[in-house]
């Protein structure tokens, strides 16, 4: 890895030693994200003011220093790992949040955490729906860069649907604003949407204007269980056909339920142990919820083996806590996980359930799966043991087969995590050569020296061949 020591010394002269940090602890912390594949940077730039980003990028361009932008490093794909070394821009200090009560907009700094944005909105009767499970930790900059989703996607949409305007810097270090703090804007090319989901490769976001919606006053939670996965997925289709739009509709297959049960020592659904479940929540005005509740209860009666409505907010929270436990609990099935956030079109739900059953049988691996049924985004977790070569090979083959199948079914290799390093071997399954060439042309036009987050997306990186750090992160229990 190049040291970039002369360039770093120049940057330190410009921004000061408090901003440009090179101590071991800081370099270690910035060397990896939740994928835990470390690459050492030359310096961490702890940005205090947006203008410092421009200074760093202009110098990086002149001296050809790779730059990787970092929110909180919760990405599971390795997208925030500085694979080419160079400088890591840490934007956590840009964490301002201001709600415009009349316009229903939030003005936020890139480093603001999602939970802080939601709390500020709620305190004023507004609601910011995108809710990744990592929301206590992850930043809006990272969410916009990955077009993050979460459980609310089906009814409300994902991060993209709530971004009104963006401010930041082009890779060349020039300041830009895409859109204004108005809900309508139709002046020129829409580069705001090009930045959303661009994984820190087309620009650095320093601030955003977000759309809010009125906070739904009423919520109602129902747990349902099913004989098998195909029945659960087919039942979900019946629910959507009945024009019910749950705010959340979470599916846990048998493997996920068993993991949650072992982790909590309790049955997810008493008397229905080990059966796949759908946990759903209605949200809206009291009248809306009451109206949909009737349809949902009739649906549960007709399709589920059992159902139970939460009697209180506390009971509902306990049910959601079980859902959150299942992912971390999977590590008892293997010490390595390929966590694939694929998307399947609803019309292929039952076909996909049958495919997953075959994949589990053929690979001999545990592949617990859970996900968001209202938008087709399923988290398929291929578990294996790193020290067992046969399991590593089986996992590698299983992920390849999974990606080919979801694309053949008209779905996507990623619904919310993005490509980064982890999905780079599969980009060309999703996209034709012409599509990849168009994306690369845009990258080259905006970042002619290729300094911003290099080595990601277009270059194939097989994560399963790389050693991972044995570290526990604050969000690892989730």
Ligand X SMILES: Cc1cc2nc3c(=O)[nH]c(=O)nc-3n(C[C@H](O)[C@H](O)[C@H](O)COP(=O)(O)OP(=O)(O)OC[C@H]3O[C@@H](n4cnc5c(N)ncnc54)[C@H](O)[C@@H]3O)c2cc1C
231 Cβ contact partners less than 8 Å away, ≥ 6 residues apart = 276, 303
> Among residues 15 and 289, whose Cβ is nearest to ligand X?
15
Beta strands across the sheet bearing 105-109? 97-100, 105-109, 204-211, 163-169, 175-178
Residue 172 Cβ, how far from ligand X at the closest point, in Å? Answer: 15
Determine, following the binding rule CB under 6 A, whether residue 50 of this chain makes contact with ligand X.
no
Between CA 178 and CA 183, with CA 182 as vertex, the angle to 5 degrees is 100
By C-alpha distance, which of 54, 55, 56, 51 is closest to 41? 56
Applying CB under 6 A, what is the total number of residues that bind ligand X?
Answer: 37
Cα 124 to chain centroid distance, Å, stands at 27
Instruction: Among 42, 59, 85, 199, indicate the residue that binds ligand X (CB under 6 A).
Output: 199
Task: Report how far apart, in Å, the C-alpha atoms of 317 and of each of 155, 160, 321, 333 are.
Answer: 20, 27, 6, 26
Determine, following the binding rule CB under 6 A, whether residue 319 of this chain makes contact with ligand X.
no
Cα 199 to chain centroid distance, Å, stands at 11
Q: Choose the stretch contacting ligand X; rule: CB under 6 A; options: 116-124, 133-141, 256-264, 430-438.
A: 133-141
Instruction: Among 82, 85, 141, 368, indicate the residue that binds ligand X (CB under 6 A).
Output: 141
Rounded to a whole number of angstroms, the CA Rg of the chain reads 23
Determine, following the binding rule CB under 6 A, whether residue 207 of this chain makes contact with ligand X.
no
Determine, following the binding rule CB under 6 A, whether residue 34 of this chain makes contact with ligand X.
yes
Task: Report how far apart, in Å, the C-alpha atoms of 362 and of each of 17, 36, 351, 366 are.
Answer: 56, 29, 17, 11
Determine, following the binding rule CB under 6 A, whether residue 41 of this chain makes contact with ligand X.
no
Q: Tokens 């599969």 — which residue?
A: 426
Distance separating alpha carbons of residues 222 and 279, to the nearest angstrom: 6
Instruction: Among 76, 233, 268, 343, indicate the residue that binds ligand X (CB under 6 A).
Output: 76
> Among residues 80 and 330, whose Cβ is nearest to ligand X?
80
Distance separating alpha carbons of residues 257 and 276, to the nearest angstrom: 7
Instruction: Among 124, 219, 401, 478, indicate the residue that binds ligand X (CB under 6 A).
Output: 478
Distance separating alpha carbons of residues 469 and 88, to the nearest angstrom: 19
Distance separating alpha carbons of residues 440 and 13, to the nearest angstrom: 34
Determine, following the binding rule CB under 6 A, whether residue 97 of this chain makes contact with ligand X.
no
Residue 431 Cβ, how far from ligand X at the closest point, in Å? Answer: 18
- Contact between 278 and 371 under an 8 Å Cβ cutoff? The reply is no
Instruction: Among 45, 422, 453, 463, indicate the residue that binds ligand X (CB under 6 A).
Output: 453
Q: Choose the stretch contacting ligand X; rule: CB under 6 A; options: 14-22, 130-138, 359-367, 441-449.
A: 130-138
Instruction: Among 41, 104, 200, 276, indicate the residue that binds ligand X (CB under 6 A).
Output: 200
Instruction: Among 205, 235, 257, 398, indicate the residue that binds ligand X (CB under 6 A).
Output: 205
Determine, following the binding rule CB under 6 A, whether residue 377 of this chain makes contact with ligand X.
no
| Sign of the C-alpha dihedral computed for residues 118, 121, 125 and 130 taken in this order | negative
Q: Choose the stretch contacting ligand X; rule: CB under 6 A; options: 140-148, 179-187, 240-248, 269-277.
A: 140-148
By C-alpha distance, which of 399, 457, 463 is closest to 146? 457
Task: Report how far apart, in Å, the C-alpha atoms of 257 and of each of 132, 254, 323, 325 are.
Answer: 20, 5, 8, 10
Instruction: Among 36, 70, 323, 325, indicate the residue that binds ligand X (CB under 6 A).
Output: 70
Instruction: Among 42, 59, 97, 148, indicate the residue that binds ligand X (CB under 6 A).
Output: 148
- Paired tokens of 252: 């846990």
Residue 262 — left, alpha, or beta (φ > 0 → left; ψ -120 to 50 → alpha)?
A: alpha
| Sign of the C-alpha dihedral computed for residues 399, 401, 407 and 410 taken in this order | negative
Instruction: Among 129, 416, 423, 461, indicate the residue that binds ligand X (CB under 6 A).
Output: 416
Residue 325 Cβ, how far from ligand X at the closest point, in Å? Answer: 11
Q: Choose the stretch contacting ligand X; rule: CB under 6 A; options: 22-30, 66-74, 183-191, 264-272.
A: 66-74
Mark 110-129 with x for binding to ligand X (rule: CB under 6 A) and - for no binding.
Answer: x-------------------
> Among residues 135 and 275, whose Cβ is nearest to ligand X?
135
Determine, following the binding rule CB under 6 A, whether residue 412 of this chain makes contact with ligand X.
no
> Among residues 254 and 323, whose Cβ is nearest to ligand X?
323
Residue 72 Cβ, how far from ligand X at the closest point, in Å? Answer: 4
Instruction: Among 41, 82, 149, 255, indicate the residue that binds ligand X (CB under 6 A).
Output: 149
Determine, following the binding rule CB under 6 A, whether residue 52 of this chain makes contact with ligand X.
no
Distance separating alpha carbons of residues 176 and 242, to the nearest angstrom: 45
Query: Using CB under 6 A as the criterion, which residues of the chain lie in contact with ligand X when the complex forms?
Result: 33-34, 68-76, 79-80, 91, 110, 132-134, 138-139, 141-143, 145-146, 148-150, 199-200, 204-205, 416-417, 453, 475, 478
């Amino acid at each position: 890895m190049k040291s970039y020591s002369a360039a770093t010394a120049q940057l330190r002269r410009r921004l000061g030693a408090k901003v440009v940090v090179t101590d071991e602890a800081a370099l270690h912390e910035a060397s990896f994200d939740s994928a835990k594949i470390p690459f050492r940077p030359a310096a961490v730039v702890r940005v205090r003011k947006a203008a410092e980003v421009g200074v760093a990028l202009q110098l990086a361009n002149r001296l050809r220093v790779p730059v990787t932008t970092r929110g909180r490093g919760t990405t599971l794909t390795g997208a925030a790992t500085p694979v080419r070394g160079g400088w890591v821009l840490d934007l956590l200090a840009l964490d301002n949040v201001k709600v415009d009560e009349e316009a229903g907009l939030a003005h936020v700094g890139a480093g603001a955490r999602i939970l802080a944005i939601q709390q500020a909105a709620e305190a004023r009767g507004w609601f910011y729906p995108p809710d990744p499970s990592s929301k206590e930790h992850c930043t809006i900059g990272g969410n916009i860069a990955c077009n993050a989703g979460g459980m609310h996607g089906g009814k409300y949409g994902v991060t993209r649907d709530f971004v009104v305007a963006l401010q930041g810097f082009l890779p060349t270090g020039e300041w830009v604003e895409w859109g204004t703090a108005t809900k309508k804007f139709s002046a020129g090319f829409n580069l705001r949407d090009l930045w959303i989901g661009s994984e820190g490769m087309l620009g650095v976001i320093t601030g955003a204007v977000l759309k809010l919606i009125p906070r739904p006053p009423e919520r109602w939670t129902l747990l349902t269980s099913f004989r098998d996965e195909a029945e659960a997925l087919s039942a979900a289709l019946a629910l959507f056909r009945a024009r019910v739009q749950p705010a959340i509709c979470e599916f846990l297959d048998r493997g996920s339920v068993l993991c949650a049960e072992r982790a909590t020592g309790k049955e997810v659904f008493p008397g229905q142990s080990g059966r796949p479940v759908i946990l759903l929540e209605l949200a809206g005005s009291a009248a809306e919820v009451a109206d949909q509740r009737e349809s949902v209860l009739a649906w549960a009666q007709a399709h589920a083996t059992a159902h139970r409505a939460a009697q209180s907010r506390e009971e509902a929270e306990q049910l959601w806590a079980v859902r959150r436990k299942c992912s971390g609990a999977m590590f008892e099935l293997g010490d390595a996980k390929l966590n694939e956030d694929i998307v399947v079109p609803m019309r292929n739900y039952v076909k996909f359930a049958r495919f997953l059953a075959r994949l589990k049988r053929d690979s001999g691996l545990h592949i617990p799966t859970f996900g968001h049924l209202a938008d087709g985004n399923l988290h398929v977790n291929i578990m294996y043991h790193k020290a067992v070569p046969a399991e590593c090979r089986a996992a590698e083959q299983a992920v390849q087969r999974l990606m080919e199948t979801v694309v053949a079914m008209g779905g996507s290799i990623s619904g919310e995590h993005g490509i980064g390093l982890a999905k780079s071997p599969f980009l060309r399954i999703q996209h034709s050569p012409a599509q990849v060439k168009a994306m690369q042309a845009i990258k080259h036009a905006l970042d002619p020296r290729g300094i911003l987050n290099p080595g990601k997306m277009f270059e194939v990186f097989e994560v399963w061949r790389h050693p991972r750090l044995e570290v526990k992160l604050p969000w690892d229990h989730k």
